[in-house]
A and B are shown apart, each in its own frame.
Chain A
Amino acid sequence: EAQVTQNPRYLITVTGKKLTVTCSQNMNHEYMSWYRQDPGLGLRQIYYSMNVEVTDKGDVPEGYKVSRKEKRNFPLILESPSPNQTSLYFCASSFLWDTEAFFGQGTRLTVV
């Protein structure tokens, strides 16, 4: 089944404790991206990747890192999480940058 898989689905962590949210897609898509969703703000793009080893900042990259060593995986790293990073995070992929996006089920992160 074609899908984007994020893990974990839920995570509660403490301020400053490094964490990684994994994202994997099995559709051989070139373009992958990370978003955060906060009430009343819609989705905001954190980082995106046009292809392997090519990543770029989105609108809200501060406090996040990504890597794209393989086509299928695009992990999101929070080196030192803070409470303002409490949010619902989505990973998405698309065949090309200007085609429809497929979303993972989301990761609800709480930083205390």
Chain B
Amino acid sequence: SQQGEEDPQALSIQEGENATMNCSYKTSINNLQWYRQNSGRGLVHLILIRSNEREKHSGRLRVTLDTSKKSSSLLITASRAADTASYFCATMDSNYQLIWGAGTKLIIKP
């Protein structure tokens, strides 16, 4: 089953602009995680936010979580060409499974 759904499916912005991606999910969660994947390679963990947290920062990344709306957003500030990748949200539920969305493909134009 696919729990998380990212929005938009694709995003193209100019270098230096901010990029915002959203994730919605369906059931109660223990935590929500964001990952980056470069062109069919392994996924890299970006940030984990627990269900009792509302916001978290890591460098140029800011993640928010609204459990009442079952949604999260990932903001990348001052984007760089190296940020070009696919971004996935994944939710961990009480069944010990990490359920993934289909991803947002982000393209940063120089």
A-side residues, CB < 8 A to B, are: 31, 33, 35, 40-45, 48, 50, 56, 58-59, 88, 90, 92, 97-106, 108
B-side residues, CB < 8 A to A, are: 1-2, 4, 30-31, 33, 35, 40-45, 48, 88, 90, 92, 96-103
What residues of B have a CB within 8 angstroms of the CB of A104 in the complex? 42
What residues of A have a CB within 8 angstroms of the CB of B100 in the complex? 35, 42-44
Per DSSP, chain A at the interface is: strand
A105 to B44 Cα, complex, angstroms? 10
A103 to B43 Cα, complex, angstroms? 6
What residues of A have a CB within 8 angstroms of the CB of B31 in the complex? 98
* Contact in complex: A103, B42 (CB < 8 Å): yes
What residues of B have a CB within 8 angstroms of the CB of A40 in the complex? 102
Which B residue sits closest to A91, measured CB to CB? B42
> What 4 A-B pairs come out closest when comparing CB atoms?
A43-B100, A42-B102, A103-B42, A100-B45
* Contact in complex: B41, A105 (CB < 8 Å): yes
Centre residue among B1, B92, B96, B103 by max chain A CB count within 10 A = B96
- Shortest distance in angstroms between A104's beta carbon and chain B's nearest beta carbon? 6
A51 to B41 Cα, complex, angstroms? 26
- Shortest distance in angstroms between B7's beta carbon and chain A's nearest beta carbon? 13
- Shortest distance in angstroms between B87's beta carbon and chain A's nearest beta carbon? 11
* Contact in complex: B99, A45 (CB < 8 Å): yes
What residues of B have a CB within 8 angstroms of the CB of A59 in the complex? 1, 97, 99
* Contact in complex: B92, A98 (CB < 8 Å): yes
* Contact in complex: B2, A56 (CB < 8 Å): no
* Contact in complex: B44, A103 (CB < 8 Å): yes
Q: Are A97 and B92 also in contact (CB < 8 A) when A42-B100, A106-B41 are? A: yes
What residues of B have a CB within 8 angstroms of the CB of A35 in the complex? 100
* Contact in complex: B48, A99 (CB < 8 Å): yes
Question: 7 pairs across A/B with beta carbons < 8 Å?
Answer: A31-B96, A41-B2, A45-B98, A59-B1, A101-B43, A104-B42, A106-B41
